[in-house]
């Protein structure tokens, strides 16, 4: 069983504000460590469930937030920016995997209880495909669906887990914090978060529901992006028969 784990840092148990996940901030290294620990918990859970190959991809920012030397040595680390590729957050998905797992994910832009909620970029107010408002997990799940790879699991804040259930049905999720606002939350102890992730990933891969997430074409992609000062939002709409074209345009705009 070959597994890809796509990570993002905003949804880990110890991160609640933008400064704390920014290089140079006193809390950044602590959050990098927790991000790596939560990823390792998922890796261990995957191997406990019978995985033979596990690949991890840091989808956050410059793709440098995981600490390579502290990662479980059984896993392969997919490194590098590759910003021109609309599949960059789950790079190598096209090579074929038995399951996709999301670690540290956050809710979409505008979610009242979503900790650091946003969609790809903080300036994005809305992203829809065929009228359905999508978070990053939905975008990446559609990319995975192009290659018949099912989404099996997600960890993040409570709002992200709720949105995962809405999109993907009964997949296993782990809520590591409950958002009080965009920059505050009630959080699990860091070790407790890792313990739950390890257990839940194993359960998801052994007995959990799987969702190959697809959407029928043709496609209408819409996004609204804020500009500086008081200028009106930039709004883009694309109608196309190609899902790849629709996703690629949104990716390049953000």
Residues classed as catalytic: 118
**How many other CB atoms sit within 10 Å of the CB of residue 226?**
15
- Cis ω for the linkage preceding 213 (within 30 of 0): no
Distance CA 204, CA 96 (A): 19
**How many other CB atoms sit within 10 Å of the CB of residue 81?**
12
Encoded tokens for 85: 């590729």
**Nearest to 32, CA basis, from 7, 56, 53:** 7
Residue 165 burial by CB count (10 A; 0-12/13-18/19+): exposed, middle or buried? Answer: middle
């Amino acid at each position: 069983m070959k597994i890809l784990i796509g990570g993002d840092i905003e949804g880990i148990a110890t991160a609640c504000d933008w400064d704390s996940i920014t290089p140079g901030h006193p809390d950044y290294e602590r959050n990098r460590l927790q991000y790596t620990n939560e990823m390792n918990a998922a890796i261990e859970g995957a191997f406990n469930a019978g995985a033979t190959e596990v690949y991890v991809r840091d989808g956050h920012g410059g793709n440098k937030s995981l600490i390579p030397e502290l990662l479980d040595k059984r896993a392969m680390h997919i490194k590098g920016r590759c910003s021109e590729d609309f599949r960059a957050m789950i790079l190598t998905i096209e090579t074929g995997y038995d399951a996709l797992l999301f670690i540290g994910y956050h809710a979409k832009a505008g979610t009242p209880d979503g900790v650091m909620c946003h969609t790809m970029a903080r300036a994005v107010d809305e992203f829809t495909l065929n009228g359905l408002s999508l978070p990053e997990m939905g975008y990446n799940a559609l990319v995975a669906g192009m290659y018949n790879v099912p989404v099996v699991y997600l960890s993040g804040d409570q709002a992200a887990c709720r949105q995962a259930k809405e999109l993907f049905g009964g997949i296993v999720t782990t809520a590591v914090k409950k958002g009080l606002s965009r920059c505050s939350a009630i959080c699990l102890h860091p070790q407790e978060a890792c313990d739950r992730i390890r257990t839940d990933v194993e359960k998801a891969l052994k007995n959990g529901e799987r969702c190959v997430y697809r959407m029928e074409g043709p496609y209408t992609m819409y996004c609204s992006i804020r500009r500086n000062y008081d200028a009106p939002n930039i709004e883009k709409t694309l109608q196309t028969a190609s899902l790849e074209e629709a996703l690629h345009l949104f990716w390049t705009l953000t």
